[in-house]
Amino acid sequence: MTTQSEKSSQTTVQDATATAVAGSVKTSDGVLEAATQLAGEAAGDRTTPEHLMAAATAACLQQSIGIAASTQDVDASDAQVTAHVTLTTAEEAGYTSHITLEVSGLADDVAERVLEQAQQICPFTKALAGSDLTVRLAA
């Protein structure tokens, strides 16, 4: 839990707000607006929360790899993160998501240490730690 004094010493880097209604989601600044559909519906030109989660986690980790690499004087210009989000029925009510992030494009001799630091930087991998999240280097 973050205390009030810890909150006051933190600097906001980004603040985003999105509103979802039946059939769409839109950010308050208008940067993102997408028609949505339920998971499992026939594919079309609409997105699902799983698409959005895959895109968000991949982008977050890829940007964090760039930051980590720059602190280690490593070239990460070819780094690529592929996110795979799977939605399954839960044993109880509802659903469970499984997220796999696969990283490629980093030199073998530095890949593990850059990825380790990037996971400490990325707010999404930190938030998802302890859940069904796998982060790995591509084979």
pLDDT in tens, 78-130: 999 999 999 999 888 889 999 999 999 999 999 999 999 999 999 999 999 88
Task: Tell whether the model's pLDDT for residue 5 goes beyond 80.
Answer: no
CB burial of 50-80 (b: ≥16 within 10 Å; e: otherwise) equals bbbbbeebbebbbebbbebbeeeebebeebe
pLDDT band at 3 (very low <50, low <70, confident <90, very high): low
pLDDT band at 7 (very low <50, low <70, confident <90, very high): low
State the pLDDT at residue 39.
84
pLDDT of residue 131: 86
Walk me through the domains of the chain, giving residue ranges and CATH numbers. Answer: 16-42 (no CATH), 48-139 (3.30.300.20)
